[in-house]
Structure formats: structure tokens, C-alpha cells
Amino acid sequence: MEPDVMEREQALFSKSYFLKVRMRMIAQAVGPMEGRSGLCVGVVPASLRARLLALGGEWTFADERAALPFEDGSFERVLVLDHLEWVDDDYAFMAEVHRVLKPAGLLFVDTEHRKRWTLWRPVRRLFGVEERPALRLRDGYTGTGLFDILKDGFDVQETRTYSRFFMEGTDTFTRLAVGALLGAERSDAADKEGESDSDDAVRQRLYTIQSIAYPFYVLAEKLDWLMFFTRGYRLMAVARRRLWRPRRAPVLRDGRSIVDATLNTRIGTAADF
């Protein structure tokens, strides 16, 4: 990335409170990167990519949704950011991540948290500001669902949710503002027969929107502290690679799992009633 481009992206990042929250959690998860290799999988914003590079180490970026084009044991850290929702076979994909990680390597997964009831996601879909909706295959993960695709090759060390009601609402309104900006840009380009503002002009307008939204994000995060008893809209997991060994649930002689036997058998079936 060119120095002037990186400087502009750093400026955008400085006014993106939501990305700063995510970056803080990523930095805590991956730890010191000096002398280490890292892989980031997903469609990562340029400003977040610049911050990852600033952590040090050697970073590689990819957005494959199936086989990863890297040799076995190539990386000490792998970040999967906003990506699993668009992967056809998420279990097979995590097997690929396991393959390219070094022994005892660290995996960081950041995905949408699938909640039973949400307000802001339907609003995003309604106004067309949901990220890549045509390619989305699933609406995020629960903690249990994420554990299920990790358990055979990783020891999950931590899961947590973040971005609760107020933070997610602020981010939704910011997306609406950005969507209106990009729509206006397309309209201007059509009126001018293909002559549109430069990327620098668009970036400057994004910077203005983020600057206006920044204090609202700060307030939203403080208000979310009052919602500590709720689960956030984002789910983060940290896991360490171990030998791949399928963990199968124990079954009874008749082939039923213990869960099925517990749920579908009456207690004391030997009794005459």
C-alpha cells in the first residue's frame, strides 16, 4: 500500500469508532506479531487492513471461500473476518484453516451473532444496506453453532459478543448515510455521462460522515453498558489449533444418542404404566 494511500486510510480509521472497537479486540486476541506470520480471510476494509499491517509481522490477505492456496502450516495466526456467512461448506473451510495454521497456532473468528430477535438487521435489509445480501448463505452463528464447526480441530478458548442495541443502531444509521452518499455519487455520475468525483472526494465525504457519527458511537457504547445482560450483534471466538480429531457424541447400543434417549424415553420405562 502506497504511503499516501495508507495515510488517507489511517485518517478514515481514526474516525471509524466501530472499526476501532473491532481492531482493539483483534489486537488483544492475536497478541504480539513481530516475527510472526498472519493470514486474514475475508473482504476487509482498506482502513482495517492498514491497521493490521501496522501490528507488525508478515500479513497475507485472501477472500477464498473454499480451498486456501497456501501450504500446510504456513501461518501462526489466522483471522476470519465477516466471512463464514458466505462460505458454502463452513466445516470444510475450517478444516482448510486448520491445515494452513502452524501447530498451536491461533485462530480468531469474527462473525455475525444469530439472535432470535433483532431490530436493526431487518432495517438494513429493508433499505438495502446489508453487506453482500445476494451472496449470504446464513444469518451468522450462535456460540454453539460456531463451536460445532471448530470443535474437531480447535480448542475454543473464549467466545464473546459485542455491539449491542445502541451501537448496532448507530452503525445502521451510519450505513444508511453512507448508502445515501454512494447513491448520490452514482446519480451524479449518470448526470455527467460517466464523469464522477474522484475517489479522494468520496473518501473525504466518508470522513465527514464518520466524524459526525463518532460521538454518537461513543455514547452508544456507554448506553450499551446498561444492556450488559443482553447478547451483542457480533460474535467473536478465539481458538487454538490442536490435532484434528472428530469429537463424536457417545451413542447407546441401539444407535441413539444420549440426548435422544433422554428426551424421547420415559423415566422408569420398566414400570407397568
* Alpha carbon distance 75, 29 (integer Å): 15
Residue 271 clears pLDDT 60, i.e. is over it? no
Residue 12 clears pLDDT 90, i.e. is over it? no
Determine the average pLDDT of the residues in 125-138.
Answer: 77
pLDDT digits 0-9 by tens, 45-71: 888 888 888 889 999 999 998 899 999
Quote the pLDDT of residue 2. 54
Supply 117's cell numbers.
430477535
Residue 258 clears pLDDT 90, i.e. is over it? no
> What are the contacts of 124-127 at 24+ separation with CB within 8 A?
124/172, 124/175, 127/176, 127/179
Residue 159 and residue 107 in contact, taking contact as beta carbons nearer than 8 Å: no
Supply 246's cell numbers.
472428530
Half-sphere exposure of 60 (CA within 13 A, CB side): 17
* pLDDT confidence band for 6 (50 / 70 / 90): low
Which of 40, 100, 106 shows the shortest CA–CA distance to 240? 106
pLDDT digits 0-9 by tens, 165-216: 999 999 999 989 888 877 655 545 444 444 444 567 777 888 889 899 999 9
Distances, alpha carbon 165 to alpha carbons 158, 161, 193, 228, in Å: 22, 12, 42, 10
Can you give the pTM of this predicted structure?
Answer: 0.79
- 268 burial class (0-12, 13-18, 19+ CB within 10 angstroms)? exposed
Mean pLDDT of the chain: 82
* Alpha carbon distance 172, 263 (integer Å): 41
pLDDT digits 0-9 by tens, 226-252: 988 889 999 999 999 999 988 765 656
Quote the pLDDT of residue 269. 45
Quote the pLDDT of residue 134. 63
Which of 103, 85, 225 shows the shortest CA–CA distance to 153? 103
Residue 158 clears pLDDT 70, i.e. is over it? yes
Quote the pLDDT of residue 253. 64
Residue 260 clears pLDDT 90, i.e. is over it? no
- Backbone φ, ψ for residue 147 (5° rounding): -60, -35
Helices (H), 128-233: 143-150, 165-191, 199-224
* Alpha carbon distance 151, 168 (integer Å): 29
Residue 47 and residue 16 in contact, taking contact as beta carbons nearer than 8 Å: yes
Helices (H), the chain: 3-14, 17-30, 46-54, 90-100, 120-127, 143-150, 165-191, 199-224, 258-264
Quote the pLDDT of residue 30. 84
Domains of the chain: 3-124+132-164+229-242 (3.40.50.150)
* pLDDT confidence band for 272 (50 / 70 / 90): very low
Residue 136 clears pLDDT 60, i.e. is over it? yes
199-224 vs 3-14: helix axis angle to the nearest 10?
30
Determine the average pLDDT of the residues in 73-78.
Answer: 95
